[in-house]
Amino acid sequence: MQVSEAEAVVMQALWRESPLAAEDVVAAVAAGQGWQEATVKTLLNRLLKKGAIRAERDGRRYLYAPVLRREDWLRQESQGLLDRLFGGRVAPLVAHFSAQRKLSKKDVAELRRLLEELDDGQ
């Protein structure tokens, strides 16, 4: 399921807290993005049509909640990034960040810890 960058902003609000009414979603994202209410409602409708969220009637309004799990979206997005930019491989991604000096000492320590865990598990 493809979720645009703008739709992902709405999804993030719903992943943080749900269910939410449309006005609550607007309050959570509109000001930070410079969006009007109509923009947020359009994004909610797009996400409904894609099946990424569901709407449940609550009196005279609808409450929105995610169907798409954040973990599934992250997996899809990260795999897409790896495929597009690094031929599906993680090592060139890490090498790129290392070459650009974007890895802090804390990042390097975390990577070492993860690699040790992988070695211990095999």
**Judgement on whether residues 54 and 16 belong to the same structural domain of the protein:** yes
Which residue range is the domain that position 12 belongs to?
5-66
**Domain assignment of residue 78, yes or no:** no
Whether this prediction's pTM lies above 0.85 is answered by: no
**Domain assignment of residue 76, yes or no:** no
CATH number where 34 lies: 1.10.10.10
**Judgement on whether residues 10 and 60 belong to the same structural domain of the protein:** yes
List all residues 6 or more positions away from 19 whose beta carbon is below 8 Å from its beta carbon: 56, 58, 63, 64, 65
**Judgement on whether residues 46 and 96 belong to the same structural domain of the protein:** no
Question: Can you read off the two tokens belonging to residue 26?
Answer: 């607007």
Total number of domains in the chain: 2
What digits encode the pLDDT tens for the residues 29-59?
Answer: 998 999 999 999 999 999 999 999 999 999 9
Ranges of the chain whose pLDDT falls below 70: 122
Cα separation of 114 and 64, whole Å? 37
**Judgement on whether residues 94 and 54 belong to the same structural domain of the protein:** no
Determine the distance from the C-alpha atom of residue 37 to the mean position of all C-alpha atoms in its chain, rounded to a whole number: 21
